[in-house]
Homo-oligomer: A and B are copies of this chain.
């Protein structure tokens, strides 16, 4: 295998494979072929093999892939085998929903702090939801707490008007990854990564497909 640039789409699919493999592992399946995994993930079997080929050889010809091993390998590739420490900034409706979002716990994504301009307002509701409540700090302590708690990813769930200034704070605090739920484009320096989650963009997509089919 020679080195090549890895397509963004490949990474997205790896995450999908990872999820499917987890389900398979839970239901006790030990070996899986590229064709089985592909049909489960709604992709082409050659695609599965090619995606994996970017990173090495993981299968046994004539047999397939060991579910457990492949899952580990994919998680190692994605970097989702380690625990990622996250903070939520903006503890409104969406923010507090994320604080108690169960799928984060199953995967290795852990929210270790949260921030708001008006911290006390929601403490009660959040702590009642979880076994171990996530503390809510005032935003002006973001830099301090982010360093202290080694936060690596920030989830921005503020109103759009505040998103860029929160992003600036995160950058200043050295938080290199941002998941932006605020429906506005934010800009960060080289070396930092922003991924947007814009519900209305996805709805626009759906609306287009529904209008034209």
Which residues of chain A have a CB within 8 Å of any CB of chain B?
Answer: 8, 11-12, 14-16, 18-20, 23, 40-42, 77-80, 84, 92-94, 96-98, 100-104, 107, 109, 129, 152-153, 159-160, 176-177, 179, 183-185, 191, 193, 195, 197-213
Contacts of A200 in B (CB 8 A): 15, 19, 103-104, 107, 109
- Are B11 and A93 neighbours in the complex by a CB distance under 8 Å? no
Contacts of A100 in B (CB 8 A): 93
- Are A96 and B97 neighbours in the complex by a CB distance under 8 Å? yes
- Are B195 and A206 neighbours in the complex by a CB distance under 8 Å? yes
Closest beta carbon of chain B to A75's beta carbon, Å: 9
- Are B104 and A97 neighbours in the complex by a CB distance under 8 Å? no
**Total copies of the chain:** 2
- Nearest-neighbor residue (CB-CB) of A190 within chain B: B213
- Are A203 and B93 neighbours in the complex by a CB distance under 8 Å? no
Contacts of A203 in B (CB 8 A): 80, 84, 104, 107, 109, 153, 179
Contacts of A98 in B (CB 8 A): 199
- Known contacts A93-B129, A197-B197, A199-B103; A41 and B206 CB within 8 A of each other: no
Contacts of A41 in B (CB 8 A): 185
8 contacts between A and B (CB under 8 A): A19-B201, A20-B185, A79-B210, A80-B208, A93-B96, A153-B203, A177-B210, A179-B199
- Are B12 and A206 neighbours in the complex by a CB distance under 8 Å? no
